[in-house]
Chains A and B, each alone.
Chain A
Amino acid sequence: MIDVRNLSKAFDSLIVLDNVSFTVNDANLVVVLGPSGTGKSVLLKSMLGVLPVDRGEVLFDGRSIQNASAQDTYEIRKQVGFVFQSTALFDSLSVADNVALPLQEHTTFSSRAIRDRVCDLLEDVGMAGKANLYPQSLSGGMKRLVAVARALALDPRYLFYDEPTTGLDPVMTDKVVKLIKTLKDKYTNSGIVVTHDLSTAKAVGDQIYMLKKGRISKLTKIEKELYD
């Protein structure tokens, strides 16, 4: 379970997160919805301690990442798979090496076991046969799928998706949405999806929150209609 408690973050005078609190229960996908530029990505990075917060804390199974030592922070992060909006794939590494990287760094698997695991993951996301390509030769949607495979490499308890469908064509959007739902069922992990797209939010979310002017609230039916 992830417990976000009174998270506040400002850049100079611009308040991005203002006492944000919510909970992600086990096997639940929480969607944080909001227009572009409201601080959704800042929320995700703050939750993982990549950006320091001004106030508040985030508890992963009762362990506060803000008060954790560097080693403990890394231990918590190993339980989280993160899919960046920009994909953040390493362009000097092939698709297979991108997916293999967390396994090479954090496991003692043999090269053969890593190769098998990478093949399985790429097959899960529909990218089998693309292992030897480099990110620059992939389309935006394909990069997103590889980023999902990389996020799944360590079999994380939690998956964070930052704008998973932004910039994708309708076919690829549908594919990614289906993939998020399938992965949730297959790996039974919890997670957070931040998006500005209500249809994606409704398709994947067990709970939907709205982030607006730094404050977070549960999305009501009327707001859903207004947002539409």
Chain B
Amino acid sequence: MNLFSAIGDFSSFFFRSLFIPWQLRQSRDRIVHQVYEVGIGSLPIILVIAAFAGLVSIVQTSYQVAGTVPRYIMGMTVGRMVMIELAPILTALMVSGRCASSMAAEIGTMRVTEQIDALEIMAIDPYRFLSLPRIIGTFIALPVLTVIAELDALLVSGAYAHFFLDVPFGVFNYGLTNLFYARDFFGGLVKSLFFALVIATAGCYYGFNVRGGAREVGRAATYAVVTASILVLALDFLVALVIFG
């Protein structure tokens, strides 16, 4: 399959999954379940990586600017770095690794064990039953996770600055809040919305297209993570170009 037909196939899968009657009465519980799976399920790992991202950013910032600019600049630099780039991208990559693979594996297993055929024969649209809740669930959960990751990273970096770099909380917070641009925060959130769409679509797409057995299910999980990660990075560039370019 060449690149263009793969992109076409992927896009048509996305539209086929989303632009259908949602039948919210039947889909509501499954959407809530996916919000829980993606959101609550990913929360511990997101808290851990966001904390380290915050620590790395404050250490790097301190290394580069300490002694050359006022100390409150550190709060501004870390804040913008976390909101614009680090929190959205790291959260998306973590959710790709955790959720896109599990979506592909779960749906792929359902494909090879005829469960998707069973849905079709029971007159239940498998796109509405399987893809829609995952895409909507990730679309709701990922921005929330991103905001949590931002708060976590900023708190940890602020604490590190206070205790180890002689930058009091008040000074760090002054730089963070007084030089805050809403565009930075919302730009990061807009990115995470786009990331959510490609992560869930990649997971579902590769799951639906599994043909064969256990080996193909494993491959689908791998392809889903690789594709989601590449698309996340590509979209990061494109959205950055539009919002911050």
Which A residues have a C-beta under 8 Å from some C-beta of B?
45, 48, 50, 73-75, 77-78, 80, 82, 84, 86, 88-92, 101-102, 104-106
Residue pairs across A and B with Cβ atoms less than 8 A apart, 18 shown, are A45-B117, A50-B117, A50-B121, A73-B123, A77-B121, A82-B121, A84-B117, A84-B118, A86-B113, A86-B114, A88-B113, A88-B115, A88-B117, A90-B118, A92-B106, A102-B122, A102-B124, A105-B123
Residues of A within 8 A of B121 (CB): 48, 50, 77, 80, 82
A105 contact from B26, B106, B114, B120, Cβ within 8 A: B26
Shortest Cβ distance from residue B149 to the other chain A in the assembled complex, whole angstroms: 29
A105 to B120, CA, bound (A): 12
In the A-B complex, the 10 residue pairs with the smallest Cβ-Cβ separation, listed nearest first, are: A88-B118, A74-B123, A88-B114, A77-B123, A82-B121, A78-B123, A88-B115, A102-B122, A105-B124, A86-B114
Residues of B within 8 A of A106 (CB): 123
A77 to B115, CA, bound (A): 16
Shortest Cβ distance from residue A11 to the other chain B in the assembled complex, whole angstroms: 12
What is the total number of residues of chain B having a CB less than 8 Å from a CB of chain A?
A: 14
A182 to B161, CA, bound (A): 76
A88 to B117, CA, bound (A): 8
A48 to B121, CA, bound (A): 7
A105 to B117, CA, bound (A): 16
Residues of A within 8 A of B125 (CB): 74
Instruction: Report yes or no: A84 in contact with B114, Cβ–Cβ below 8 A.
Output: yes
Shortest Cβ distance from residue A36 to the other chain B in the assembled complex, whole angstroms: 16
Residues of A within 8 A of B115 (CB): 88-91
Instruction: Report yes or no: A104 in contact with B117, Cβ–Cβ below 8 A.
Output: no
A77 to B124, CA, bound (A): 10
A167 to B64, CA, bound (A): 70
A42 to B131, CA, bound (A): 26
Instruction: Report yes or no: B122 in contact with A77, Cβ–Cβ below 8 A.
Output: yes
Which residue on A lies nearest to B128, using beta carbons? A105
Shortest Cβ distance from residue A162 to the other chain B in the assembled complex, whole angstroms: 9
Instruction: Report yes or no: B122 in contact with A101, Cβ–Cβ below 8 A.
Output: yes
Which residue on B lies nearest to A73, using beta carbons? B123
Instruction: Report yes or no: B120 in contact with A77, Cβ–Cβ below 8 A.
Output: yes
Shortest Cβ distance from residue A176 to the other chain B in the assembled complex, whole angstroms: 18
Which residue on B lies nearest to A70, using beta carbons? B125
* Also in contact, A82 and B123, with CB within 8 A (given A104-B26, A105-B26): no
Most buried by A among B26, B115, B122: B122
A190 to B125, CA, bound (A): 25
Which residue on A lies nearest to B124, using beta carbons? A105
Residues of A within 8 A of B124 (CB): 101-102, 105
Shortest Cβ distance from residue A39 to the other chain B in the assembled complex, whole angstroms: 16
A75 to B123, CA, bound (A): 7
Residues of B within 8 A of A73 (CB): 123
Q: What would 5 more interface pairs be, CB under 8 Å, given A86-B114, A89-B115, A101-B122?
A: A48-B121, A77-B120, A77-B122, A86-B113, A101-B124
Residues of A within 8 A of B123 (CB): 73-75, 77-78, 105-106
A80 to B115, CA, bound (A): 16
A205 to B118, CA, bound (A): 24
Residues of A within 8 A of B118 (CB): 82, 84, 88, 90
Shortest Cβ distance from residue B207 to the other chain A in the assembled complex, whole angstroms: 14
CB proximity to A under 8 Å, residues B32-68: none
Which residue on B lies nearest to A108, using beta carbons? B25
A86 to B111, CA, bound (A): 12
Shortest Cβ distance from residue B142 to the other chain A in the assembled complex, whole angstroms: 22
Most buried by A among B26, B114, B117, B123: B123
Which residue on B lies nearest to A48, using beta carbons? B121
A102 to B129, CA, bound (A): 12
Residues of B within 8 A of A104 (CB): 26
Most buried by A among B115, B117, B121: B121
Residues of A within 8 A of B26 (CB): 104-105
A13 to B123, CA, bound (A): 31
Which residue on B lies nearest to A102, using beta carbons? B122
Residues of A within 8 A of B113 (CB): 86, 88, 91
Residues of A within 8 A of B106 (CB): 92
Shortest Cβ distance from residue B111 to the other chain A in the assembled complex, whole angstroms: 11
Which residue on B lies nearest to A41, using beta carbons? B114
Which residue on B lies nearest to A86, using beta carbons? B114
Residues of B within 8 A of A102 (CB): 122, 124
A77 to B125, CA, bound (A): 12
